[in-house]
Amino acid sequence: MEPGLSTRLPAFFALGLLTAGSGMRPAVAQEPVPWLEEAEEPELLNLSDDSEPWAWCYKKSLENGEQLPYNPRIYKRWHADKAWGTADLIDVLTTASEEMAWLLPQADPVVIGDISTRNGGRLDGHKSHRGGVDADVGLYWGEGQMFMQGFRNVSPKDLDARANWLLIRSMLDTGRVERILLDQALVRVLRDHVIETGELSREEAWRIFPATGDGEMWRQQGVVHHVAGHRHHMHVRVFCPER
């Protein structure tokens, strides 16, 4: 790290990405874990309760879930019955959305798609979203716009890099985000943005927005990384709650 760099680092570096605070491991340093969206091994769906600590919240159910409150000024919640998540996830979504309303008051409210059902379990159209730790979140395009009536593809040239970076940063600032999945073409735009604006050093930018790695998607490192088919929203996963 070059001298003096720490004084320019955004808050989230102090809060959790580079240091493991309050028992939560930073995503950049933790072991990659199987990711149900891409998992082909059927046994991943049959994890027992004494599986690895990270495993239980991927699999079947949501316990003590909270519902994302109705708050249309701050965010648009698509389906109330699919807006249930862990306390951490609900807090990440509300905190980041409130911060966006403050940082970019002219921007559209954040669009929040499927999370999980009240008790979790299989959710139509998703392989994950079972344990209240996954949420689909819209992407800003143009100048702070979001598609309100359903996710639509956003091309790299239409992506509002600044607004999406602010949203991602707000979520990472909570220290509770395990990873964010996004198509690599959009990851690249965000990485270029944070380097060009000087918000992050090259090294930091590549660590948060890595290149597409070899091998299975769920073995990828880095916080915001590639998954195919995510050009119209980002998939946000928070850490499993302590049990």
Say how many C-beta atoms besides its own lie within 10 A of residue 125's C-beta.
9
Cβ at position 81, least distance to Zn ion in Å: 16
Which residues, other chains included, contact 46 with Cβ-Cβ below 8 Å and sequence gap of 6+? 59
Residue 230 touching Zn ion (CB under 5 A)? no
Min CB(26)–Zn ion separation in Å? 22
Task: Assess 178 for contact with Zn ion (CB under 5 A).
Answer: no
CA–CA gap between residue 166 and residue 121 (Å, rounded): 31
The minimum distance between CB 125 and Zn ion, in angstroms, equals 9
Provide the minimum distance between the beta carbon of 180 and Zn ion in the complex, in angstroms, as a whole number. Answer: 10
Window contacting Zn ion (CB under 5 A); options: 78-86, 96-104, 157-165, 230-238: 230-238
Instruction: Kindly determine how many residues on this chain lie close enough to bind Zn ion according to the rule CB under 5 A.
Output: 2
Choice between 66 and 136, CB closer to Zn ion: 136
Q: How many CA atoms lie within 13 A of 65 on its CB side?
A: 25
Amino acid found at 81: D
Stretch that binds Zn ion, among 62-70, 96-104, 193-201, 228-236 (CB under 5 A): 228-236
Residue 50, judged by CB atoms within 10 A of its CB (0-12, 13-18, 19+), counts as exposed
Q: How far is the CB of 134 from Zn ion (least distance, A)?
A: 5
Kindly tell me which of 82 and 235 has the beta carbon lying closer to Zn ion: 235
Q: Where are the alpha helices (DSSP H) in the chain?
A: 11-12, 56-59, 87-103, 161-173, 184-196, 202-208
Site for Zn ion contains 235 (CB under 5 A): yes
* Among candidate residues 220, 155, 201, 167, the one with its CA nearest the CA of residue 8: 201
Residue nearest Zn ion by beta-carbon distance: 235
Q: How far is the CB of 3 from Zn ion (least distance, A)?
A: 41
CA angle 154/168/40 to nearest 5° reads 70
Does residue 136 touch Zn ion according to CB under 5 A? yes
Per the structure block, which two tokens stand in for 118? 């009240």
- Tokens at residue 66, please? 């909270």
Q: Smallest distance from the beta carbon of 137 to Zn ion, in angstroms? A: 9
Nearer to Zn ion, 128 or 200 (CB): 128
Which window, 9-17, 46-54, 129-137, 157-165, contacts Zn ion (CB under 5 A)? Answer: 129-137
Nearer to Zn ion, 130 or 235 (CB): 235
Residue in 228, 224, 233, 182 with CA at minimum distance from that of residue 200: 224
Give the residue with the Cβ less far from Zn ion, 88 or 136. Answer: 136
Phi–psi pair at 40, nearest 5 degrees? -105, -20
Closer residue to Zn ion (CB): 176 or 235: 235
Give contact residues for Zn ion (rule: CB under 5 A): 136, 235
